[in-house]
């Protein structure tokens, strides 16, 4: 499992710009793609944060995104583009629930809204990251840079 901090150490430029894209409004926001039980994808807007070097999100109990991640932890996360600085940031990996009460408390303290027992905390490991950079909205095509986590044992 590659944490945000390990990703940022391995690919600092991609992670730095990616964090700017995710946090462009002052709080972390993105589109989360999950896989339904029947194999079809779903897209959900979510709040995200980087807490103690880990990319996390609180998900509402009973939500389809939480159910999807419980059944099949694969995800893709795409940061919202800023029209004035239209960089693209996409990561993929696996999401797992965080049971550690200390991490939950640290995440809740850093969160943009009040978190209660109606939410569960998930961490998003990073297996792949793609950054598309453009100088402005008219520059096409983007210049893409990609990073992939090393495969275990290889």
Nearest to 66 by CA among 96, 90, 101, 91: 96
What's the predicted TM-score (pTM) here? 0.93
Q: For the chain, list residues with pLDDT below 50.
A: none
Nearest to 30 by CA among 12, 9, 57: 57
Residue given tokens 């629930």 in the structure block: 97
How far apart are alpha carbons 84 and 31 in whole angstroms? Answer: 19
How far apart are alpha carbons 96 and 31 in whole angstroms? Answer: 17
How far apart are alpha carbons 99 and 120 in whole angstroms? Answer: 9
How far apart are alpha carbons 91 and 22 in whole angstroms? Answer: 11
Q: What is the pLDDT of residue 154?
A: 61
- What are 16's two structure tokens? 């730095």
Q: What is the pLDDT of residue 84?
A: 80
Q: What is the pLDDT of residue 73?
A: 95
Q: Is 20 left (phi over 0), alpha (psi -120 to 50) or beta?
A: alpha
Q: What is the pLDDT of residue 149?
A: 96
Superfamily of domain 4-148: Electron Transport, Fmn-binding Protein; Chain A (2.30.110.10)
């Amino acid at each position: 499992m590659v944490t945000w901090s390990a990703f940022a150490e391995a690919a600092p430029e991609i992670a730095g710009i990616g964090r700017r894209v995710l946090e462009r409004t002052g709080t972390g926001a993105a589109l989360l793609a999950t896989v339904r039980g029947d194999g079809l994808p779903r897209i959900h807007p979510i709040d995200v944060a980087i807490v103690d070097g880990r990319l996390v999100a609180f998900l509402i109990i009973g939500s389809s995104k939480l159910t999807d991640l419980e059944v099949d932890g694969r995800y893709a996360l795409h940061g919202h583009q800023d029209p004035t600085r239209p960089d693209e940031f996409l990561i993929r990996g696996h999401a797992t629930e965080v049971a550690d009460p200390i991490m939950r408390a640290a995440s809740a303290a850093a969160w943009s809204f009040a978190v209660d027992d109606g939410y569960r905390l998930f961490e998003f490991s990073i297996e792949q990251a793609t950054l598309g950079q453009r100088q402005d909205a008219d520059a096409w095509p983007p210049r893409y840079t990609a990073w992939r986590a090393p495969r275990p044992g290889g």
